[in-house]
Amino acid sequence: MPGALLTDFYELTMLTAYLRRGMTQPATFSLFARSLPPARGYLVVAGVESALAALEALSFDDADLAWCRDALDLDDATTTALAELRFTGEVWAVPEGRMVLAGEPWLEVTSALPESQLVETLLLNRLTFPTAVASKAARCIEAARGRPLADFAMRRTPSLDAADAVARATALVGFASTSNVDAARRHHLPTTGTMAHSFVQAFASEAETFAAYAEDFPERPTFLVDTYDTERGVRAAIAVIREKGLGDVAAIRLDSGDLGALARMARALLDDAGLPAVRIVASGGLDEHKIDALVRGGAPIDAFGVGSQLGTVADAPVIDTIYKLVDLAGRPIAKQSTGKATWPGAKQVVRAGGGHDLLALRDEPVPAGGEPLLVPVMRGGRRLDDRPDPSLAAARRRFEADRDWLPAAARRLRDPVAPEVRITDALATLTESVRS
């Protein structure tokens, strides 16, 4: 579990200054994306459970305290205050799987100012990348139109932690499986994967390779057919599938070349061989646009493996998430820097009936037909037992319900248009009063 030094140095200097001055008044911070990346019509919230777990675990151990005492020149009283510091606050969050738009808080923290400030870096880190991945994965789901998708990203994802986040975030929006064994075990996900080109090269022939694999793993063998000549590879797979009677469980995988044309060739050979149930899996540099082109082009591909483009969120790697002070001891606060203005006060996001959202103050009544997105998930620094179901299955149901709500223009892959976010009169009035 992350310790208190998993943070930016300035959180510690600010923490120290607050503690020394007894500035422990309640502060509310709001975490949101200022804007959506150009190629996104919505974002899918992910990472909330990991963020809450990190808040619960937050503390300074002896080594941390020794480091801080030295680096920050702490007095005894402040050192003691750090040693006793835990996150004891309240958190409201948008449940994982739900969609948010520009300016809508994903999460709001209310706690004593030193605590709520300290957790800024940790919360931004825990939420931003999973949300970026889930949002891109959702586009892959759109493109695949019901065909199963597998997370193949582990090897080129930025780190092992990040690979775990990718496996979880992709499952959250409906990916069928992951190649990441550790993540599969941890999150109870189906695994996928069979053989590399090196495996084929380690045997004397494709025939021998496929026979060995079928012998060891007869339940769901997938034969990689493009190590040498793809057509020859498909024929070798067909021979083994027929010989071993695997026509109902086997698949072949294409990982290079013109995937659409090769899939058509392979499908014809398989059908001619009386193997209509053998599936074709494609991988190799895929993203939502390539999947979309293959599916729209009628390529007979049954499932896709998606790797590096997804695991690095290659088309939109940065989401400009921020964590802003919006209320200090009842005083609403807004930032007025050039181009970086924010709205004051604790918020609510209301998913209204008419295909748009309302950004409101938290204590405003929710209009009829509207649904509030932010709900309490933590009080007194502990996760609430009655918070929305944190399971991946529940998150996926929420994702699917919100997707049904989205206008078609927000769901399309190219030039999506996000639904409108309207500001309530009460929020507009408060903002005006703070800025004037």
CB of 201 to a copy of itself, least distance (A): 5
Residue type, position 334, single letter? A
DSSP code, position 282: E
Burial class of 381 by CB neighbour count within 10 A (0 to 12, 13 to 18, 19+): middle
| Cα separation, 143 vs 296, whole angstroms | 9
Residue 12 in contact with a copy of itself, rule: CB under 8 A: yes
Instruction: Using CB under 8 A, pick the residue from 145, 185, 296, 397 that binds a copy of itself.
Output: 185
Q: Contact between 162 and a copy of itself (CB under 8 A)?
A: yes
- Sites for a copy of itself among residues 18-37 (CB under 8 A): 18, 20-21, 23, 27, 29
Indicate which single residue of 121, 207, 289, 413 sits in contact with a copy of itself (rule: CB under 8 A).
Answer: 121
Candidate segments 68-76, 357-365, 372-380, 395-403, binder of a copy of itself by CB under 8 A: 68-76
* Among 22, 62, 76, 198, interactor with a copy of itself by CB under 8 A: 198
What angle separates helix 259-272 from helix 230-244, to the nearest 10 degrees? 30
Is residue 129 involved in binding a copy of itself (CB under 8 A)?
A: yes
Indicate the burial class of 176 (C-beta count within 10 angstroms; 0-12, 13-18, 19 or more): middle
The Cα–Cα gap between 26 and 116 comes to 9
Report if residue 135 touches a copy of itself, rule: CB under 8 A. no
Instruction: List binders of a copy of itself among 405-434 (CB under 8 A).
Output: none
Q: Which of 143, 313, 395, 427 binds a copy of itself (CB under 8 A)?
A: 313
Give, as ranges, the residues between 219 and 278 that touch a copy of itself (CB under 8 A). 219, 226-228, 230, 255-257
Between 15 and 358, whose beta carbon lies closer to a copy of itself? 15
Among the residue ranges 64-72, 241-249, 345-353, 387-395, the one whose residues contact a copy of itself (CB under 8 A): 64-72
Based on the shown chain and the rule CB under 8 A, indicate whether residue 125 belongs to the binding site for a copy of itself.
Answer: yes
HSE, side-chain direction, 13 A CA sphere, residue 391: 6
Among 131, 135, 170, 192, which residue sits at the site for a copy of itself (rule: CB under 8 A)? 192
DSSP result, 187-208: HT--B-----HHHHHHSS-HHH
Minimum CB distance to a copy of itself smaller for 87 or for 213: 213
Phi, psi dihedral angles at 192 (to 5 degrees)? -145, 155
Taking the alpha carbons of 13, 19, 21, 23 in that order, is the dihedral positive or negative? positive
Nearer to a copy of itself, 161 or 272 (CB): 161
CA distance 44 to 48: 11
Amino acid identity for residue 195 in this structure: M
Give the residue with the Cβ less far from a copy of itself, 1 or 368.
Answer: 1
Is 325 among the residues that bind a copy of itself (CB under 8 A)? Answer: yes
128 binds a copy of itself (CB under 8 A): yes
233: left (phi over 0), alpha (psi -120 to 50) or beta: alpha
Report how far residue 187's alpha carbon sits from residue 178's, in angstroms, rounded to the nearest whole number: 10
Closest CA to 59 of 27, 84, 22: 84
Indicate whether 158 belongs to the interface with a copy of itself (CB under 8 A). yes
Pick between residue 54 and residue 93 the one whose CB is nearest to a copy of itself. 54
* Cβ neighbours of residue 158 closer than 8 Å, sequence gap 6 or more: 311, 312
50 vs 388 by CB, closer to a copy of itself = 50
Q: Judged by CB under 8 A, does residue 171 bind a copy of itself?
A: no
Contact set for a copy of itself, span 328-347 (CB under 8 A): 328, 333, 335-340
- Binding residue for a copy of itself, selected from 43, 124, 250, 306, defined by CB under 8 A: 124
- Least separation, in Å, of the C-beta of 179 and a copy of itself? 4
Q: Check if the beta carbon of residue 165 is closer than 8 Å to that of residue 133.
A: yes
The β-bridge relationship of strands 375-379 and 371-372 is: unpaired
Does 155 bind a copy of itself (CB under 8 A)? Our answer is: yes
